[in-house]
Amino acid sequence: MRETAKTLPFACDPVRVTQDDVEDAIRTILTWIGEDPSREGLSETPARVARAYKSYFAGYAQNPEDYLRKTFEETAGYDEMVLLRNIPFQSHCEHHMAPIIGRAWVGYVPRSRVVGISKLARVVEAYASRLQIQERMTAEIANIIDEVLQPQGVAVVIKAAHHCISSRGVKKHGVDLTTSRMLGCFRTDPMSRQEFLAMVNADLKD
Ligand SMILES: Nc1nc2c(ncn2[C@@H]2O[C@H](COP(=O)(O)OP(=O)(O)OP(=O)(O)O)[C@@H](O)[C@H]2O)c(=O)[nH]1
Ligand SMILES: [Zn+2]
């Protein structure tokens, strides 16, 4: 019987997949596209690709919740919107493993505690460093901030270009996908929503 991902001994157990297994898989792909994996220029490529994948998908080893655990309460009662704008990210689509290159806007209205602003970007980074569809990534970022910080509201907008529709398939360049998730006051209060979207739109005009 031909070995498939299901019959291989390491199936579904990432701990048992070795660097050698990954390099073999890359050599298989190189052969399949018509290359000679043993030629000089490609001899180190399987190891490089394995390292690159570790980096692209570092988010599987991260728990985004952890980034939001440390909060600051001495805010003098600050209860207006906190908005981190234009957060660049790169991800990969789960259908083609092709790059998704985009920007995120993450806003929230604190109840009593605020989080270090770098942590909002770290949450984006952790979810982006996994195979994604943009809708899920958008929801995951908003949901985790809502769960851990329990703010008055959370709003997330993501605008991204999907290379799977530009470099292959339908081959449409210059097309972006915009997604948003509004929770709490951003969902129920049109003024909060408008204030947030006005800032996003101002950035999108730049
Ligand atoms: N909703 C959504 N779709 C995505 C995202 N990234 C990629 N896709 C789409 O996922 C779909 C996968 O569709 P399939 O028909 O199974 O794959 P395919 O035959 O490669 O499709 P084509 O890209 O049209 O060639 C494609 O329409 C992609 O454009 C995303 O973040 N969200
Ligand atoms: Zn895709």
Contact 152, 79 (CB under 8 A): yes
Superfamily of the domain at 14-56: GTP cyclohydrolase I, N-terminal domain (1.10.286.10)
- The binding-site residues of ligand 1, defined as CB within 6 angstroms of any ligand atom, are 93, 95, 133-135, 162, 164-165, 169-170
Q: Residue 158 in 3-state DSSP? A: strand
Phi, psi of 61 (to 5 degrees): -95, 5
pLDDT number for residue 13: 76
71-205: which CATH topology?
Answer: GTP Cyclohydrolase I, domain 2 (3.30.1130)
Burial (CB count <10 Å: 0-12, 13-18, 19+), residue 127: buried
Q: Name the residue type at position 77.
A: G
The confidence score (pLDDT) of residue 11 equals 57
Quote the ligand 1 centre to 174 CA distance (angstroms): 16
| Separation of alpha carbons 131 and 137, rounded Å | 9
pTM: 0.93
Domain with CATH 3.30.1130.10 in the chain: 71-205
CA angle 102, 103, 106 (to 5 degrees): 145
For ligand 2, an ion, list residues with CB under 5 A.
93, 95-96, 98, 164
Ligand 1, residue 93: give the atom nearest the CA: 6
Residue intervals in the chain for CATH 1.10.286.10: 14-56
Report which protein residue has its CA nearest ligand 1's atom 24: 169
91 — pLDDT class (breaks 50, 70, 90): very high
- Tell me what pLDDT residue 10 has: 52
Is 18 within 8 Å of 24 (Cβ atoms)? no
Catalytic status, residue 162? yes
Residue 53 has pLDDT above 60, yes or no: yes
Pocket perturbation via mutation, ligand 1, pick of 164, 178, 180 by most ligand atoms within 8 A of CB: 164
pLDDT, residue 8, reads: 53
What are residue 71's DSSP bridge partners? 115
